[in-house]
Structure 1
Amino acid sequence: MKALCFLLRRGGWRSAIFMLVLGGLAALALPPLCLVPVLPLVLGIFYQAVCAAPNHRSAALWGFLFGMGYYTAGLYWLTNAILTRVHEFWWVVPFASPGVALLIAPLIMVPAVLCRLVPAGWPRVLMFAGSWTLADMARVFYFSGFPWNPLGSALEVPGWLGDWLIQPASLIGVDGLTLMLVLASLALWQGRRAVLAVGVCAALWCGWGAWRAEHKAVLPGHINPVAVIVQGNVTENEVLERDSAVSQFRSYLELTSQGVRQAQHLLPGRPVVVIWPESAFPGLLDEEEGARQMIADAAAGAPVLLGSDRRAGGVGRWYNSLMALASDGHIEAIYDKSRLVPFGEYDPWIIPFHLLPAEVVPGPGLQTWNLPQIGRVGPMVCYEIVFSGSVVAPGARPDWLLTISNDAWYGNSAGPRQHLATGRLRAVEEGLPVVFANNRGVSAIYDARGREMGRTEWGRAQVLIRPLPGPEAVTPFAMIGRWIPCLMSVLLVGVALTRWRRARADT
């Protein structure tokens, strides 16, 4: 550690590269790898480096460079989206993930600087953990919001261990998981007693999580339908070019017929709902009555929920919509996506020119549908599932949540898996089952405890059939939302400042 401090005090390009690499290593803890043991080492070194920096300016620089490494590595898959249209946007390829990282990396400067304002030891640790979480939560205010990859998602380890680790999200949300993970990582550097305390807390955490994950608490009287998720495996180039639109449509119809027959055979008497992902229909569904009738015939009386564009008025203006088709093919409900992807669906104000050929218009906000054979469902499109505490329409709690997406943009990378992981956490936070339907994969169903009920593979045309589990009682986080982790973080910052004031008064 002394050698590290000497290197960083000297500054220069070697120190800068070290901090970039250190931040990149922190991204190994994110889904799908979830190498959680990396965090105590990486965050511990970063914290020591910030404390040893000769001045606040150097500490801020280390925080920025760490953030650049962390977000560039964690979002490397954004480059794949540019490659789908590389002939038009070849010049953007080197700037895709570093460009986004450049916008959000300054947030890690906040804990790097603020922690130096209080005395070393526990006050500084508390200030670092609290201010890190508050700064990370502020990402929802960037453009339309970009809260992708909060550090708390590192606890989404695959399998039963991850099921145990994420259960406290029902109390404190993913931002609360971030706070506790940063605090525990730094506490492991504070001596033997702190290590013992972290071990005891981790055991209690896992014990309660194991009990909750296995304890059945589904509300009585709720019988959700059988979901038939149709994954057509259409590449993004095929979606954009539309050359094989007819064959794509026929493939979805055939998979739908097969899936409905299997569902009715396996679970006779249960209502069935067919789900197509975003970009599944290669046209404007609300304007094509014949196509709607063909979909209804393939579903054999089952309602169909699917994505389609629709005109929003004006040239090049569209809604990205999720529609509900009744058994006779008429549209029962339409939900227009309200949270749009910056740089992907609209041009942020910082761009002085038009990057996108068309503009997606945001819808009015979250809804809850109550439809025959489907029940009370909260529809979302793609990016909207990422927003912790903002996935349920106020005052209209559904029985299950649905997200349709098209992650073919990002290829067989960490991107689709990170997106899917957000659905797992939303299920725990809200106490609601989550259905995630994706064009190329990965599609999955989670129960209200975040346990996986089934999934598809990436890059395969297949159908996933599962009876949807029921909802559970409203969780504390669902009632209060992000105020819980926010107040926890403010409390830690307040304790740190109180200790600082007392230290100054004593001197």
Structure 2
Amino acid sequence: MKPGLPQFVSEDLNLFQRMGLALAAGGLTVLTLPPFSWLIAVPVAFSVLFIVLRNISTSRAFLVGWAFALGQFGIGISWIAESFYVDAERFGALAIPAVAGLSAGLAIFPGMAAMLFAAIMQRRAVGGIAAGLLFSTCWVATGWLRGQVLTGFPWNLAAYALVDYAALRQPAAWVGSYGLGFLTVFIGILPGVLTVAAPKRRAPVLVLFAVAVAGFWVGGALRSGQDVPPTDVALRIVQGNVPQVEKWVPGSRQRTLEKYLGLSAQPGRFDLLLWPETAFPGFLDEDAAARARISAALPDGRILLTGAPDRVEGDGGTRYFNTVQAYDGSGEVLTGYAKHHLVPFGEYVPLKGWLPIERLTEGLGDFTPGPGPRTLAIPGAPLVAVAICYEIIFPGHVVDDLFRPDWIFNATNDAWFGTSIGPEQHLASARMRAVEEGLPVVRAANTGISAIIDANGNVVARLDTGETGTIDAGLPGARTPTPYARFGDWTLLVLVFGCWVFGWLASLLGRDPDARHFGTEVS
């Protein structure tokens, strides 16, 4: 064992011991995320991974990184299993295999990060801060790929460990969640860098750690302390709390409509009435009687935004869409938005001709994707972007870049996931989109969590999972476009490129005495 190296990372550890440590560290990352947000777990988890990747071949590094992510995703997205038990007779047996398979597949991306890191260490050995920078940029580069490949699934990004800390989440306004994830991982592994550093190289690491944390906090605090004037628009969000097992039962449509109309009719003023995804379990634009009842609840120019499925007949047959539609007192559709980022196996079946699998949601056929992000103009209200459920998890893909809105409406149905940690994680994504875009996000959820989020990511009001009720509150104001809103992931590219150049120069100079710790491959 090298001097100063902790006993648990002895050079004599075999592959399975390293994978076991990585698996446990990956599981620990779940505690860094909402609803837990244990910030202290960030340096523990990522420093352990950084240390156990030392002196290991590229193939074994992949397995260690994969084991870390298997622990992270296996626990972090275990709530997905609940959706299979909504119709347990047909899908219950698939719950565990589906979660295990998805977790194993997603774990490939962190495995690639670990493999890339190990490969660079063998060819251009660097140590200390440069090694930390290289690891962090490998991590964020493959994390970005996870958000793009096969429609993408950027769930539980490293940056979301900071979402419950007002000052620490603010850098997302400049570099987005991927860039903030890079900073989170880099600062998180500095204790690991310090552990393996030669004694005379520890002072610079300590100084950098202190400066980075202080700069993070001060810069974010200055931004979060800036007040944004509210609008004069009054909102009413309705959370009907209709269980998923009841939503599509024959004969339940009228009961559901009665519930939403009753909650909407409570005393109080509102300009915009907001119902969640598929609040009306049917084709509302084809149901004249239902629209007439809704019209009666919308006097004096009030507007309803509600989720509802839609269908369009064409030469190729019937196409189905998951939409949000706007209605006024006339009962006619004013405008609408069709979801463009659909959930695989939930809203459509990929490779349907090849896979003998049914989708989990009720309906007559697979949904068709809409054309993309769209800004809606609604009479008497600020311009609005709509993100339906799953769409809010994609950084940089919620707002129409050519026609900036004043707020984002996130209509969702998290009833599929019961009282698990899934809805809290989903809310965290919505809060980060608010910070990135500098726009308030208003969330209407069927069974929770409904919330109003201001442009700094603060939750102004909320209804928790399993609650039935309404939120009456004003619409928060928007900030000026953030750097991330203007340039998107180009800010990440600049950050990653700069870090690679820094790491390359450090390895080229070869003056870091810690480099020897990373240059030897262990079989």
Amino acid at match of 2:328: A
CA contact (8 A) 2:25 2:44 kept: no
Taking a change above 3 Å as real, the CA distance of residues 83 and 316 of structure 1, as seen in their structure-2 partners, is: farther
Structure 2 CA distance for aligned equivalents of residues 59 and 256 of structure 1? 56
CA contact (8 A) 2:176 2:489 kept: yes
SS across alignment from 1:335: strand
CA contact (8 A) 2:238 2:470 kept: yes
Of the candidates 251, 265, 271, which is equivalent to residue 257 of structure 1? Answer: 265
Aligned length: 488
CA contact (8 A) 1:143 1:348 kept: no
CA contact (8 A) 1:111 1:127 kept: no
Structure 1 CA distance for aligned equivalents of residues 283 and 428 of structure 2? 30
1:440 corresponds to 2:447: yes
Structure 2 CA distance for aligned equivalents of residues 25 and 128 of structure 1? 19
In the TM superposition, what are the counterparts of 1:126-145 in structure 2 within 5 Å? 126-145=133-152
Structure-1 residue corresponding to 2:211: 200
CA contact (8 A) 1:276 1:307 kept: yes
Amino acid at match of 1:66: F
Structure 2 CA distance for aligned equivalents of residues 343 and 143 of structure 1? 13
Structure-2 residue corresponding to 1:40: 43
1:477 corresponds to 2:484: yes
Q: Which moved more, 1:341-350 or 1:405-414?
A: 341-350
- 1:352 positional shift: 2.5
Structure 1 CA distance for aligned equivalents of residues 130 and 21 of structure 2? 27
Structure 2 CA distance for aligned equivalents of residues 145 and 249 of structure 1? 34
Of the candidates 199, 216, 226, which is equivalent to residue 215 of structure 1? Answer: 226
Of the candidates 332, 345, 348, which is equivalent to residue 346 of structure 1? Answer: 348
Q: Which moved more, 1:466-475 or 1:199-208?
A: 199-208
Provide the alpha-carbon RMSD of the alignment.
2.2
SS across alignment from 2:49: helix
Structure 1 CA distance for aligned equivalents of residues 372 and 325 of structure 2? 15
CA contact (8 A) 1:31 1:418 kept: yes
Query: Percent identity among equivalent residues?
Result: 31
Structure-2 residue corresponding to 1:269: none
Of the candidates 75, 78, 90, which is equivalent to residue 76 of structure 1? Answer: 78
1:286 corresponds to 2:294: no
Compute the TM-score of the two structures, normalised by the length of structure 2.
Answer: 0.89
1:334 corresponds to 2:336: yes
SS across alignment from 1:478: helix
Structure 2 CA distance for aligned equivalents of residues 242 and 337 of structure 1? 25
Of the candidates 10, 29, 39, which is equivalent to residue 14 of structure 2? Answer: 10
Of the candidates 32, 35, 38, which is equivalent to residue 29 of structure 1? Answer: 32
- 1:96-131 C-alpha deviation (Å, 9 max, x unpaired): 322211221111122312222232323321110011
Structure 1 CA distance for aligned equivalents of residues 231 and 209 of structure 2? 41
CA contact (8 A) 1:431 1:449 kept: yes
Structure-2 residue corresponding to 1:168: 171
Structure 2 CA distance for aligned equivalents of residues 254 and 70 of structure 1? 42
1:394 corresponds to 2:401: yes
Taking a change above 3 Å as real, the CA distance of residues 63 and 482 of structure 1, as seen in their structure-2 partners, is: same
Amino acid at match of 1:194: V
CA contact (8 A) 2:239 2:445 kept: yes
CA contact (8 A) 1:7 1:15 kept: no
CA contact (8 A) 2:409 2:443 kept: yes
The structure richer in helix per residue is 1
- 1:136-164 C-alpha deviation (Å, 9 max, x unpaired): 0112222222111111011012xxxx111
In the TM superposition, what are the counterparts of 1:37-116 in structure 2 within 5 Å? 37-53=40-56, 55-116=57-118
Taking a change above 3 Å as real, the CA distance of residues 501 and 7 of structure 1, as seen in their structure-2 partners, is: closer
CA contact (8 A) 1:257 1:299 kept: no
Of the candidates 367, 382, 385, which is equivalent to residue 378 of structure 1? Answer: 385
Structure 1 CA distance for aligned equivalents of residues 456 and 45 of structure 2? 30
Structure 2 CA distance for aligned equivalents of residues 369 and 344 of structure 1? 26
In the TM superposition, what are the counterparts of 1:180-329 in structure 2 within 5 Å? 180-189=183-192, 190=194, 191-218=202-229, 223=231, 225-258=233-266, 261-263=267-269, 272-301=271-300, 302-313=302-313, 317-329=319-331
- 1:204-262 C-alpha deviation (Å, 9 max, x unpaired): 322222222121244xxx8452110000000010113244322111010010111xx31
- 1:10 positional shift: 2.4
- 1:72 positional shift: 1.1
CA contact (8 A) 1:256 1:299 kept: no
CA contact (8 A) 1:115 1:125 kept: no
Compute the TM-score of the two structures, normalised by the length of structure 1.
Answer: 0.91
Structure-1 residue corresponding to 2:520: none
Taking a change above 3 Å as real, the CA distance of residues 115 and 475 of structure 1, as seen in their structure-2 partners, is: same
Taking a change above 3 Å as real, the CA distance of residues 492 and 293 of structure 1, as seen in their structure-2 partners, is: same
SS across alignment from 1:263: coil
Structure 2 CA distance for aligned equivalents of residues 19 and 201 of structure 1? 26
Amino acid at match of 2:15: G
CA contact (8 A) 1:382 1:405 kept: yes
Structure 2 CA distance for aligned equivalents of residues 355 and 303 of structure 1? 36
CA contact (8 A) 2:167 2:220 kept: yes
- 1:375-398 C-alpha deviation (Å, 9 max, x unpaired): 211112111111111111121011
Structure-2 residue corresponding to 1:467: 474
SS across alignment from 2:248: helix
Amino acid at match of 2:40: P
Amino acid at match of 1:177: L
Amino acid at match of 2:22: M
CA contact (8 A) 1:171 1:475 kept: yes
- 1:172 positional shift: 1.0
Structure-2 residue corresponding to 1:267: none
Structure 2 CA distance for aligned equivalents of residues 84 and 69 of structure 1? 25
Structure 2 CA distance for aligned equivalents of residues 87 and 131 of structure 1? 43
Amino acid at match of 2:219: W
